Amino acid sequence: MRTADIRSRFLDHFAARGHTVVPSAPLPTPDPTLLFVNAGMVPFKPYLTGELAAPWPRAASVQKCVRTLDIEEVGRTTRHGSFFQMNGNFSFGDYFKREAIEHAWELSTTPLSGGGFGLDPGRIWVTVHHTDAEARAIWRQVSGLPERRIVDRGDEDNFWSMGVPGPCGPCSELYYDRGPALGREGGPEVDEDRYMEFWNLVFMQYERGEGTGKTGYPILGELPRRNIDTGMGLERMATLLQGVDNLYEIDETRPVLDRAAELAGVRYGADAESDVRLRVVADHVRTALMLLADGTVPGNEGGGYVLRRVLRRAVRSMRQLGFHDPALPELLPVARDCMAASYPEVAESYPRILDRAGGEEEAFRATLRQGTTVLDTAVAEVKRSGSRSLPGAQAFLLHDTYGFPIDLTLEMAAEQGVEVDREGFTALMTAQRERARADARAHKAGGGADTAALRTVLDAEGPTDWRAWETLTTDSRVLAVLGPRGPVPVASAGEIVTVVLDRSPFYAESGGQESDAGQLTGASLSAEVLDVQRPLPGLIAHQVRVTAGELAAGDSVRAAVDPEWRLGARQAHSGTHVLHAALREVLGPNALQSGSYNRPGHLRLDFPWRGALSPETRSEVEEAANRALRRDLPVGVRWMTLPEAKELGALALFDETYGEKVRVVEIGGAWSRELCGGTHVEHASQVGVIALTAESSVGAGTRRLEAAVGVEGFGYLARERDLVARIAEQVQAPRTELPERIGGLLQRLKAAERENKQLRQHATTARAAELAAGAVDADGVLVVTATAEGGADAARTLALAVRDRLPAGRPGTVAVGAATGSGAAVVVATNDAARQRGLHAAKLVKRLLDGRGGGSAEVAQGGGTPADRLAETLGALDRLVAES
């Protein structure tokens, strides 16, 4: 049975039993504690914890998941995969243990002809928490399993919580005996390879208190509404039903593995190390495909770094297998064909996927060429010194300068028998991140509030009545005034605090749109709103600076958004949609927005593209955008279900979480149709103008456009006009002739520079010949010393020119010094005869400069000597040569 068919059979089973089938959420998640969805319950977390009311009493899904904590184990064991799919059925205060057990047993054991999975009941084992006599009794009644195949286990294995105070409860796991060829008899406690876990049923019935780890925290009591959360590993069920040994051999991964083996000219199963690399490739190519399909872009932080890492590990594994050509264009189509039956979007967006992956591979191949040379040199130096540890500073240099990720440095160094000073590297990375965080904090007006305090407010008062789409002012009541350590009794003038209101007109920063600015006013209060965030689902938090009077919980205030700020924000956000549509109109559908930021007067938009846009293409995109403004396209908002929005062709941003109903913003109908929660103008002409100000690279295969909009856009164009007028006046040419006139000036300047260079070369040649003719004999060695104008480069050029003019048969050594900004530089050069006699340029320069310098036996350079002592320094050369 194909994996796609197993997926469909699972959903059909639960749909027939009253469950709402919920589509998989995108892999990137807004949960601040996660980079990607890593379990089937993650999208349902607000409903399971009670933060939000569930829109359905029972649901079922097949959720895409990525886990990379065990990425080093991928391929080395057959139980770890970075991408997997979790089948789950959920009850939100509806059914509980008996129904969950009945559903699982029925689907697992019903014959294939009856719509089930047809597993042999005689080979199924079950585990329960050792205190859960109720679950044990239900299993006996429902399944008829003998007592010995219902195994009691402790908290570590069969009690679930999220690791923080909140819902928890016992769980029950189903295992399948794959036969004596795979391990010892005795059930899952004896051998979990032979007895493969395929389904976990979590019974959320208690509330836990504070504590760490999986045990030792107090149980505070029963939950008012008990929930069910189950997870059945789709890849594990496919392994069982397809009769293969592990998840790398099922129909969604084995074709990728086989293609990799074919390209590399190896056979799977013939060599253990090659098998590991083939499994890494099979897993990582599929993982990368799914991350790229869900909008993740390779980068240096967060989820982008995870994607970059799995792509690079796949490429490097192919190189280790002996395949040095571009691998991803050969492997990704195979993964696409494997996954498209379940996820049609991977086929629909494949051109974009391949473009981004191809750009990343191309960049990584260049990185490997540069970084490998540097790493090999550093490792050789470590070994020569007798050490076995690469300094953290060297690893940081590879990461920061050459884009070599630390995991790659660790792997490649280990292959050569060298460890890496990971602590030193981490300290340097931490310092760099702290600098970045400090820069980010400098752009904020103050600290944030304690999350626990915010949750207490939400639990007590409920969600904020949010009116940002409807109005710029509300009469509001202050629910809480919070500082970094919790509630603040009173905030006085000059203090910065976080304020929660019962209702708010302020837009909270999200979807690339910066938060609103404005004021809170009261009888004697004036406070400036500096930042607005949504720290918890449903809760709006305002960071404010009290400018007059005092602010306390319970106060009545007038909340007012700055209308000019909001107008500018609306213009920028609608301008971003217009620019995105114009970009796709000019470049095609692959130019899909991968990130954006907009604030009054300014927008930026990131999109996947290989290579810079030409000036002509930039002009075409800008013209398409402004043409839409001139046509005054209508801007409309519609609410619909997510499937309806996708059917309509609305574009979704993959780092957003969508509810049962989604908000679709249209500009000119189908011309621009995106899912969006931001604020917008009513007609496109209200944007004013879109003036592109910059186009740049922000990573391999990703470009960034920046633009000024509205009043700031007109101001930018006016400044450009004035600048052109000044240039035209200076070069005394009409504006229309400026490109030709400036081009002519540049050509003449380049010609003059070439002429000057030739003159300098002639002068250097003439002087070199003169200096070589005046060489002094020092114990049989011709010695020349001189000074040069123009810094260290000029000194090096002159030293080599003089050396090359010394008689070939006689040993010769040249030292040339030149003043630099901080002192003087000295270059020493030797000819072949001098080196045969034992003279070494690097040793000579170090002796001249008290150890400051380095290079080769042929030419070396150093610095640090004061400029006024340069003649004295050079004068010592003949003595040093004679002593050598």
CA 213, CA 178: separation in Å to the nearest integer? 32
**405-410: which pairs have CB atoms within 8 A and are 24 or more residues apart?**
405/305, 405/308, 405/309, 405/312, 407/309, 407/313, 408/312, 408/316, 408/371, 409/375
> In the structure encoding, which two tokens stand for residue 708, read together?
């000024």
Query: Would you call 728 exposed, middle or buried from its count of C-beta atoms within 10 A (0-12, 13-18, 19+)?
Result: middle
CA 286, CA 292: separation in Å to the nearest integer? 10
To the question of whether residue 573 is assigned a binding role by annotation, the answer is yes
For 270, 474, 530, 569, 665, the CA distances from 466, given in Å and listed in that order, are 63, 10, 18, 18, 19
For 9, 14, 342, the CA distances from 2, given in Å and listed in that order, are 11, 19, 10
CA 189, CA 322: separation in Å to the nearest integer? 41
Which residues does residue 64 pair with via DSSP β-bridges, in sequence order?
85
Helix orientation angle between 350-384 and 406-415, rounded to the nearest 10 degrees: 50
To the question of whether residue 762 is assigned a binding role by annotation, the answer is no
Neighbours of 289 (CB within 10 A): 28
762-773 as b/e, with b when 16 or more CB fall inside 10 Å? Answer: eebeeebeebbe
For residues 180 and 194, the answer to whether their CB atoms sit within 8 Å is yes
Helix (H) or strand (E) holding 635: strand 635-641
CA 874, CA 884: separation in Å to the nearest integer? 16
Helix orientation angle between 406-415 and 422-442, rounded to the nearest 10 degrees: 170
For residues 300 and 398, the answer to whether their CB atoms sit within 8 Å is no
Q: Which of 159, 274, 252 is CA-nearest to residue 206?
A: 159
CA 700, CA 299: separation in Å to the nearest integer? 8
668: left (phi over 0), alpha (psi -120 to 50) or beta: left
Query: Would you call 177 exposed, middle or buried from its count of C-beta atoms within 10 A (0-12, 13-18, 19+)?
Result: buried
Order across the sheet with 595-599: list the strands.
595-599, 602-608, 702-709, 690-697
For 300, 432, 480, the CA distances from 399, given in Å and listed in that order, are 10, 12, 45
Instruction: Establish how many alpha carbons lie within 13 A of residue 732's alpha carbon, considering only the half-sphere containing its beta carbon.
Output: 0
Which residues does residue 584 pair with via DSSP β-bridges, in sequence order?
none
Order across the sheet with 823-830: list the strands.
776-778, 781-787, 812-820, 823-830, 859-865, 854-855
Chain mean position to CA 136: 45
To the question of whether residue 129 is assigned a binding role by annotation, the answer is no
For 77, 168, 194, 691, the CA distances from 245, given in Å and listed in that order, are 12, 34, 10, 59
Contact residues for 321 (Cβ-Cβ < 8 A; gap 6+): 260, 264, 266, 274, 277, 278, 281
CA 506, CA 360: separation in Å to the nearest integer? 40
Q: Which of 709, 645, 704, 708 is CA-nearest to residue 677?
A: 645
Helix (H) or strand (E) holding 173: strand 166-177
For residues 588 and 617, the answer to whether their CB atoms sit within 8 Å is no
CA 515, CA 321: separation in Å to the nearest integer? 51
CA 860, CA 850: separation in Å to the nearest integer? 14
For residues 784 and 815, the answer to whether their CB atoms sit within 8 Å is yes
To the question of whether residue 80 is assigned a binding role by annotation, the answer is no
Q: Residue positions in the annotated binding site for Zn(2+)?
A: 573, 577, 676, 680
Give binding residues as ranges: 573, 577, 676, 680
